[in-house]
Amino acid sequence: MLVMLGAQERTERQFSALLAASGVTLIRITRATLGYSLVKAAPS
């Protein structure tokens, strides 16, 4: 699916920088089952 949509996997540091550039603060990343993660963020 990542290949079809031109997406990429990101580290916590990369997510934080991406969100900060959009005016959003990373709150938490929670690891879920089957390799998924939940990203919680809020407006800065």
Q: How many H-runs (helices) and E-runs (strands) does the chain carry? A: 2, 2
Tokens 């709150």, located at residue: 27
**Per-residue pLDDT reduced to its tens digit, 20-29:** 999 999 999 9
**Per-residue pLDDT reduced to its tens digit, 29-43:** 999 998 888 999 999
CA gap 42, 5 in Å, rounded? 25
Report whether 44 contacts 23 (CB < 8 A). yes
| pTM reported for the whole predicted model | 0.75
pLDDT band for 16, please (50, 70, 90 cuts): very high
CA gap 26, 18 in Å, rounded? 9
Residue 20: strand pairing partners: none
